[in-house]
Amino acid sequence: MGWKFTWVSSYGTDFNYDFQASFTPEEMAKGRVEYNFDLVQFPSAEAPGTSVFYKDQDGNICHTHSACARGTENTVNTYNYLDYVPKGRDEEGLPFTMSWLRHHDRYDDGYLADADRPYWPSGTAIRSKGMAGEV
């Protein structure tokens, strides 16, 4: 088809703050942040979000699509495959969704990708092998 598009990162810009996907320390201190068109408690200063833009032949840039929260899951291919299997993501009974997530080679020792677990809700008990305690 000959289609080409440029991937652009928001790293080092205010973009994520402008689109309510990153939160300042002051916003986090208030206990609720504006995310997914609502004021919610959020466990991290960074939230998932996807935006799509189109640049027309006159150079105008149009914001054509945004997704956040669970609306971004179609870009996480693991979910696509898990949703096919009989038990799906098997998140029922977990302290929160995605508490099962580990590096591909770290399931046995319970190692988490982020040592301080910023995405874990506070007060969540750690129940995986090799780990005990509360966040």
- How is residue 35 written in tokens? 């995310």
User: Measured in Å, how far apart are the chain's first and last C-alpha atoms?
Assistant: 50
Domain ranges of the chain: 77-135
Q: Which residues of the chain have pLDDT under 70?
A: 1, 102-107, 109-135
Q: Is 67 strand, coil or helix?
A: strand
Q: How far is the C-alpha of 51 from the C-alpha of 47, rounded, in Å? A: 13
Contacts of 102 (CB under 8 A, 6+ apart): 110, 111, 112, 113
